[in-house]
Structure 1
Amino acid sequence: MIREFQSTDLDKVMSIWLEANLQAHDFIDPEFFKQNFQLVKMLIPMSTVYVQDLNGVKGFIGLTENYISGLFVEQAYQRQGTGKALVNKAKQRFNELLVHVYEKNTAAIDFYLAQNFEIVSKSLNEETQEAELLMRCVVEHKVKIGQCAL
């Protein structure tokens, strides 16, 4: 079940955030994520966050307007539709989604391409000095008389 973030989810969300970042970004010094942990913990409640709750939080998506500021899933639940379901939740809210993905994170790039994102541009992340791609998805909402559907 996808639901809105609750303050009681914060510790689990942060655990997933740290574990998934360390797993997906082995090309970045782990200290970078550890040093940013408290800042992210403070920012999470200020964002729009949805969690995948399957007898406990297994993944989450954080949004700042239509920008995906984070999408993280527990390793044991990856490649099982959790990430896709969370992106679809965001697609219900916005006509366009944007996300930055490190160029070396090919699994994430492939995931977003499969969700109909396209690569818009490439830049250098100033904090990590790693190349990242800006990806964009335009959501087409099909409108039927009396209802709205994706």
Structure 2
Amino acid sequence: MNPSEVVAAQGNGAHLISPEKYKGSVGKVRIDNVSIGSDLYTVTFLFDSSDRLVQTNVASNEKKNEGIVARQFGTLNQLLTQKYGKPEFSDPNKATWKLPDTTVELSQMVISGIMAQTVVRYIPNSKVANDTSNL
């Protein structure tokens, strides 16, 4: 899907944004203030140089409070486990589900006193295979 197709498919709330650089891709579509559990998140759709959708990030709007981020991580871990089953990998800061076509990564990033955020990444397995092919 290209950015316009993502906006059309997502309907209300999805909008084109000024391109934002990510490692190996560019954010071009966003949905603001998506409610999951009792918290708000921002969904960003990332595209490759050919404008093909390559990743979707769901990031908490909370960017400072470590306690809130820890609670969000627990809530999302529970919700994703209900939906996809037990994660293939998990530790106190990350959980990964390997689905037939997609890898789902939940993580909490905390740099004490500076930033704290919970992120879910949806990555096509073809991209994950490419990213790890040189290891």
If the length of structure 1 is used for normalisation, what is the TM-score? 0.30
* Structure having the larger proportion of residues in strand: 2
TM-score by length of 2: 0.32
